[in-house]
Amino acid sequence: MPEEEFDLAIIPFHSFSELVSPEDQELALRAIRRCLKVGGRLICPLQNPRVRASAVDGALRINGAFPIPDGLFVVSGFETLDEPTGVGDRIQFYEFFASSGDLRAKRALPMRFALLGRAGFEELVGAADFEVEALYGDYEGADYKEESSPHAIWILRRPS
């Protein structure tokens, strides 16, 4: 039994997707459930796999270019997807340019993520003894539409 229980837990930035094995996903949900009061809620935003998979094509994309003192910071990357498992691999690049345009530093960060569909996530939720209270398709509370919603914002509740 945890020392303290909470009314609300939030998993920000779609970070639950970085748990790529179903075992790790279920362990995380069970651990969070133990820390919630009865009736407590978990907000778990995920990306909609149908929409997200369209950008996982191996193409190099610039995600943003940001002015910094005396230069520019550029974030780019590319992603590939193993369709049978729904696990994606991403290499994200961070480049720092001087105001002259010369590259000062470059770093690469490998990442993995799982695209979790509705049925699979509902199965995990049930196995971890949560109930689905709501599912939204975006951060404004729109209905979830599997073919077009950019996100799947899950509101889960710990039952009594």
**Residue 12: inside a domain:** yes
- Residue 91 in domain: yes
26 with 99, same domain?
Answer: no
Give residue-wise pLDDT tens across range 97-151: 999 999 999 999 999 999 999 999 999 999 999 999 999 999 999 999 999 999 9
Residue 139, pLDDT score: 96
* Same-domain check for residues 90 and 126: no
Count structural domains, the chain.
Answer: 2
Would 144 be classed as within a structural domain? Answer: yes
CATH number of the structural domain spanning residue 130: 3.40.50.150
Do residues 75 and 110 share a domain?
A: yes
Q: Is residue 139 part of a domain?
A: yes
Residues 46 and 121 in one domain: yes
Q: Is residue 80 part of a domain?
A: yes
81 in the same domain as 153:
no
**Residue 141 sits in the same domain as residue 130:** yes
Residue 125: how many other CB atoms lie within 10 Å: 20
The answer on pLDDT for 2 being more than 70 is no
Residue 55 confidence (pLDDT):
87
User: Is residue 1 domain-resident?
Assistant: no
Structural domain including 133 reads 6-51+115-157
Kindly report the pTM of this predicted structure: 0.88
Over residues 18-42, the pLDDT tens digits come to 999 999 999 999 999 999 999 999 9
